Structure 1
Amino acid sequence: MPFRLRFGEAGPLRTAEGLRWGAVLGATYAGPYSERALSGERFGLLSSSGFRLATGQCTDCPVPEAALWYFRDEVIATPESGQPVTGQAPFAPDGDALLHPSLVWIGAPEIIEHAALSEDGRFLLTPAGRVPFAVTPAIPTNRAYLDHSTTAFFRERPLRMRGATLLERGVPIFVARTIWPEDTRVDMDGARFEPLKEGETLTTLIRAQTGGVTGIYAVRVLWERHPGQPRRWANRPVLAFVLDGAQGDDDGAHGGHLALATGVFGPHGEWSDWLVSNFYPIDDKSDKGILSALVPMDNYLADLNSGQAWYRPNYMLVAVMRESRIPSRVQATLQQVFHGYYCHAIGYDRATNNSTALVIDPLRWLGWNIPETGPTSYLAAMAAFPVAALAQGSLAGGRDAFGLLAAEKTRLVPRDAFEAIGHDLLGLLDGDAPKGELTPFERMLVADVEAVLFVRIPQIPSSRRFGTYPVGSLVELGGRVPWDGDEWETAPDPGKRLFPERLTGSCR
């Protein structure tokens, strides 16, 4: 049965109104312009050849029903039958082979690479020819979307897209869900080697880019094992940390967000296929349509609704490794966390176990002794408890206020964690700690890192206001937003997901 499309407009681009991505798997047209999303791709450290396309309504996937429930109308990749899967085998992060995750949220079944946008925005110019073009529409809670500044930005660069080729009155049209600028690659030979200078810190690097696309995409090499020698980073594994900035139109999002990625550098410095561990409050709906999941980097940053680069500037620390044992151990541990997260064996709490804690805790479990920076203030926490309880009319409000102020900051504040990780990594590589005091994991880290990069990723222009760098503490947050919470500008609240209790028993 043909997939019927209705078209709207977003700037000069057509939008495929009413498109349900979970319904496209049986309706796509096999054209010459695109490749299947599992054809020759990688999911971080793993080849996509061991996966198959599905949706969360799959009945024969080796995935807990509790995990599938969150992706009922989404395109995912799940392991092929017979593949070793996290959650079905004993947890052994230092095993010889990385197990497959239960699922990867890929969003769409096809990929187009090396495409250009036509001047009128109606067509894609691909190596295989011209194809009519449209984009997925904005979700109802997305308050900003593509505009003429977006299309001007995309017309200047080659593009990689995730989407689907659908037939409209017998004519193929490619509908994009993700648009990734292909010039966001690392120039391995040209990236400047510039260690932190006297008085320079990761804080100063982050704060130096204060607004969206007004900054530029840039790569700086902070540490290198063999400065001045040819860089052989192609096909090398990486461990990367992504810090998302503050939104310009949401006072509730000035803290930013922290995610971790693993993968392999492409032959020309490409990194769109790195696999990002993206933890969000699992049972809260997102105004951006974000789902807590393992997701390819191009989707993480550039999905037209949920991509972080549409909302704020981003920053990344990349450790280039000589072998995969460190990234593999980290990825295995995070996959195990996701298994427990979907199954509700691991819970979310914005003070004691938020998205930042879910990233940094596994690193410490593995033996990386990232220094703690302590709580904001125990005294302030004790003082805030009765005030917040009275103001909100509940003990829960007091507990939340106490928990936030008393929480260890590297487990609470994304930028604090990002900076602690980065400075400790650079310190380890510079030999700041005696080797006898290092854990086995830290000794491997010191032995394997070839280079450390700092990457600035500007906000993609759209009708949304430009964001800025994230706050580094609750004190800084208090100085940036209105004291009266009623005066905050916030995103719409899409509500909760009512997770069926019966599904907690679907995990073994």
Structure 2
Amino acid sequence: MWHSAYTTTGILAAAALIGAAMPAHAAPAGPSLRDALAPGLLGLYPTERFKLATGRCQDCAAPEQALWYFNDDMVAVAKAGPAGYAPRLRAQEDVLAWLISGGGRPRDQPPPLVWIGSPHVAEGRLGADARLARSDGAPPLPVELTPKLSTNRSYADAGSLAFFAGGDVKARGALTEERFVVRTLWPKRYALGAAAPSVPLAGGETVE
């Protein structure tokens, strides 16, 4: 049985624009447009510790339930030594058991599965003309939202793009020959500071 601070599947997303199947994509180039697992970090861990797969992966060290949930979607799975969880324990009990089993020292274990959803990442300043201006001097990139599912009654539209226009964003999606089809969009002005101070929980507060 695994014990870990991870009690649920890690999900890397902000504003989820869940849509239909992604179109065929072209190869990205440049720092402002890159593959989903290009050298760098995925959360707190180097991308080189993960591989791309779908939930139908037969040799992935991830919970069956998580793989089933992302059956036909793109995920990143740990190549080796993933963290796990004790299914019969509550979240805080699981964390405590994990700490005790490691002698009180955190273990360098990546999450078993991270939702990726899209093959590419694009960064830049979103314009009112639905183009992404890129800081590395590359030509502006036309963007559009992935098609809406008929069952999704709450969805982004042209007004959403107008709201985010003028700000720096990070988007996940698929690069086609003509444009970048956005599936998730994260305004950088909402990013948390990397050096935010740690503050103990106050009386009555929990992590649940």
Normalising by structure 1, report the TM-score: 0.30
Q: What's the counterpart of residue 33 of structure 2?
A: 34
Cα distance in 1 between the residues matched to 2:166 and 2:125: 11
The residue that corresponds to 2:197 in the other structure is 320
Q: Does 1:138 align with 2:155?
A: no
Structure 2 counterparts to residues 291-330 of structure 1, below 5 A: 320-321=197-198
| Partners of 2:158 and 2:151 in 1: CA distance | 21
Amino acid at match of 1:104: V
Q: Give the conservation status (yes or no) of the 8 Å contact 1:76–1:106.
A: yes
Q: Is the 8 A contact 2:28 2:120 kept in 1?
A: no
Structure 1 residue 56, shift from structure 2 partner: 0.4
Structure 1 residues 126, 63: closer, same or farther in 2, change over 3 A? same
> C-alpha deviations, 1:221-247, integer Å up to 9, x for none?
xxxxxxxxxxxxxxxxxxxxxxxxxxx
Answer yes or no: is 1:72 the counterpart of 2:71. yes
One-letter identity of the residue aligned with 2:21 = R
Tell which has more relative contact order, 1 or 2 (C-alpha 8 A, sep 6+).
Answer: 2
Give, in angstroms, the shift of residue 54 of structure 1. Answer: 1.0
CA drift of 1:48 comes to 2.4
Instruction: From 163, 180, 185, give the equivalent of 1:179.
Output: 185
- Describe the shift of the 1:45–1:131 C-alpha distance in structure 2 as closer, same or farther (beyond 3 A): closer
Contact 1:112 1:161 in 2 (8 A): yes
Structure 2 CA distance for aligned equivalents of residues 369 and 181 of structure 1: 30
Corresponding residue number in structure 2 for 1:125: 133
Structure 2 distance, partners of 1:112, 1:100, is: 24
SS for the counterpart of 1:321 is: coil
**Displacement after TM superposition at 1:87 (Å):** 3.5
TM-score (norm 2): 0.68
Q: Distance in 1 between matches of 2:203 and 2:39?
A: 36
Q: Within the alignment, does 1:147 sit opposite 2:157 as a pair?
A: yes
* CA apart distance, 1:178: 1.0
What SS class does the counterpart of residue 140 from structure 2 fall into? strand
- What is the aligned partner in structure 2 of residue 97 from structure 1? 107
Q: Summarize the Cα distance change of 1:65–1:131 in structure 2 as closer, same or farther, 3 Å threshold.
A: same
2:56 aligned partner: 57
Partner of 1:19: 20
The residue matched to 2:67 in structure 1 has which SS? helix
> Which residue of 116, 122, 127 corresponds with 1:112?
122
User: Partners of 2:56 and 2:178 in 1: how far apart?
Assistant: 27
Give the drift of 1:126: 2.1
Work out the CA distance in 2 between the residues paired with 1:164 and 1:66. 26
**8 Å CA contact retained: 2:20, 2:149:** no
Give the AA of the match of 2:20. Answer: L
TM superposition shift of 1:67: 2.4
For 1:60 and 1:370, the matched residues in 2 are separated by: 44
Summarize deviations over 1:400-425 as a string: whole Å, max 9, x none: xxxxxxxxxxxxxxxxxxxx349xxx
Alpha carbons of structure 1 residues 141 and 47: separation in structure 2 relative to 1, 3 Å = same
For residue 49 of structure 1, report the CA deviation from its aligned partner.
2.2
The number of residues matched between the two structures is: 171
d(CA) in 2 for partners of 1:142, 1:45? 32
Matched residue of 2:142: which SS? strand
- Structure 2 partner of 1:364: none
Looking at structure 2, the residues matched to 87 and 421 of structure 1 have their Cα atoms a distance apart, in angstroms, of 21
Q: Which runs of 5+ in 1 are unaligned?
A: 1-17, 189-264, 270-318, 327-367, 372-419, 423-508
Q: 1:45 to 1:147 in 2, by over 3 A?
A: closer
Tell me by how many angstroms 1:96 deviates: 4.5
Is the 8 Å Cα contact of residues 20 and 73 (structure 1) preserved in structure 2? no
Q: Kindly, what percent of the aligned residue pairs are identical? A: 34
